[in-house]
Structure 1
């Protein structure tokens, strides 16, 4: 495969990450190659498990149909999540009221916030709450903490549901750090769980600034329940740059995409 061919395949993957699907006819027009060449590219990308061919084109591979348990998510892309969390923590300032979502990435932010003063945390995450209490008891963190209670989802170590939504109505935060299951430029951010998605909507509504944390495995993915459009986000922190095809849309929607260091 020539360098030009590899570059074309990368473009195809970028377009998939943007829209979730591509058509052979569109790829022929965009890449200015024959349909036979496009079919060969799609076959090779499918062999590399980067897409799934369907009639007339291809779709992005989605391996999971439901949210993995917390303990599974905790070890997946662990190094990338730690880098994302460290970068996201730099956005927190003294005296901030901060919402920490239940994701395994957001919890990795807490060790990097020990030097901040007069913080106030709100969370639905049981592991995050335990870590906050441990830091407080050891005198390592100067902060208050509130737990948003509701229906407990044991597999995910979090609370959700209408009671949690009602409780969140009375809290307003400076920054909401959200975990997600999928993000697309065209369709926004999404969750496998409808109850979690509804609560995330409340997190966005009651925040001055919304920051989404996502590793590369969720880019271009659309899951069961839509949380919000990208225009409702302020910042995305990821381990990789945004897909090339997203640039104009991110700029139009005033979303700042930060690559974790």
Structure 2
């Protein structure tokens, strides 16, 4: 296929990431090619598993309908997550109160924060809690650690639920670092789990600044439960640049998208 054809296919994916679905008619108008050409592009993109064709157009591929376990998430996109975590850690200053959400990306931040002075951590993540206590016991970290307790989700090694929400309402933090399951320009950030999403809403409400950590696999995805609109967040840190179709909306909503180095 010609370079122009590849560029058109990239544009289709950008549009798909923006809206979650595309229609053949709008692609014909946008790309100024025939409907037969559009159908061929969609067939080729489906063969590459980059979208799923449906009547009248295509939708974004979404392989999972439930949140993967913590152990599965640990090995998925591990290098990308470490880069995201290192970049996100650079946003933390001395003497701050920092909320670390559950998730493998947020937990990767902790080793990069040992040089900060007088930090206070709040978390719902059992692995993050264990790591922080280990750092304390080894004399690598001397700050404070608070665990938000509640209903335990063993599969994900985290606490959620009404008790956790009530406990969190009395904490105010400088920065909340959130892990998510999906991010879309129109829909916002989302989670597979309603209880986790409700608690994340509290994280956002009680933070001076909210930073979302996401790898490329979650971009353009809308999962079961909406956490917040993008305008309620301040920064997104990802391993890739934002889709071109999102740029004006991100600017209008005041979201700073940072590409991890």
When the two structures are superposed, what TM-score results if normalisation uses the length of structure 2? 1.00
Which digits, 9 at most, give the CA deviation of each residue in 1:208-256, with x for residues without a partner? Answer: 0000000000000000000000000100000000000000000000000
Q: Which runs of 4+ in 1 moved over 2 A?
A: none
1:143, distance to aligned residue in structure 2 (A): 1.1
Instruction: Give the SS at the match of 1:17.
Output: helix
Determine the structure 2 residue equivalent to 1:148. Answer: 148
Determine the structure 1 residue equivalent to 2:183. Answer: 183
CA distance in 2, matches of 1:21, 1:113: 39
CA distance in 2, matches of 1:157, 1:51: 32
For structure 2, the 5+ residue unaligned runs are none
CA distance in 2, matches of 1:182, 1:98: 22
Determine the structure 2 residue equivalent to 1:60. Answer: 60
Determine the structure 1 residue equivalent to 2:87. Answer: 87
Determine the structure 2 residue equivalent to 1:12. Answer: 12
Instruction: Give the SS at the match of 2:7.
Output: helix
Which structure 2 residues correspond to residues 94-133 of structure 1 after superposition, within 5 A?
94-133=94-133
Determine the structure 1 residue equivalent to 2:214. Answer: 214
C-alpha contact (below 8 Å) 1:99/1:173 kept by paired residues? yes
CA distance in 2, matches of 1:85, 1:142: 21
Aligned-CA RMSD value? 0.3
CA distance in 2, matches of 1:141, 1:18: 41
CA distance in 2, matches of 1:137, 1:91: 26
Instruction: Give the SS at the match of 2:8.
Output: helix
CA distance in 2, matches of 1:15, 1:32: 15
1:142, distance to aligned residue in structure 2 (A): 2.6
Q: How many residues align?
A: 261
Instruction: Give the SS at the match of 1:102.
Output: coil
Q: Tell me, yes or no, if structure 1 residue 249 matches structure 2 residue 259.
A: no
Which structure 2 residues correspond to residues 18-37 of structure 1 after superposition, within 5 A?
18-37=18-37
CA distance in 2, matches of 1:260, 1:141: 25
Which digits, 9 at most, give the CA deviation of each residue in 1:46-85, with x for residues without a partner? Answer: 0000000000000000000000000000000000000000
CA distance in 2, matches of 1:197, 1:137: 32
CA distance in 2, matches of 1:236, 1:143: 26
C-alpha contact (below 8 Å) 1:116/1:142 kept by paired residues? no
Determine the structure 2 residue equivalent to 1:160. Answer: 160
Q: Tell me, yes or no, if structure 1 residue 231 matches structure 2 residue 231.
A: yes
Instruction: Give the SS at the match of 2:159.
Output: strand
Instruction: Give the SS at the match of 2:79.
Output: helix
Which digits, 9 at most, give the CA deviation of each residue in 1:166-214, with x for residues without a partner? Answer: 0000000000000000000111000000000000000000000000000
For structure 1, the 5+ residue unaligned runs are none
Instruction: Give the SS at the match of 1:155.
Output: coil
CA distance in 1, matches of 2:5, 2:141: 53
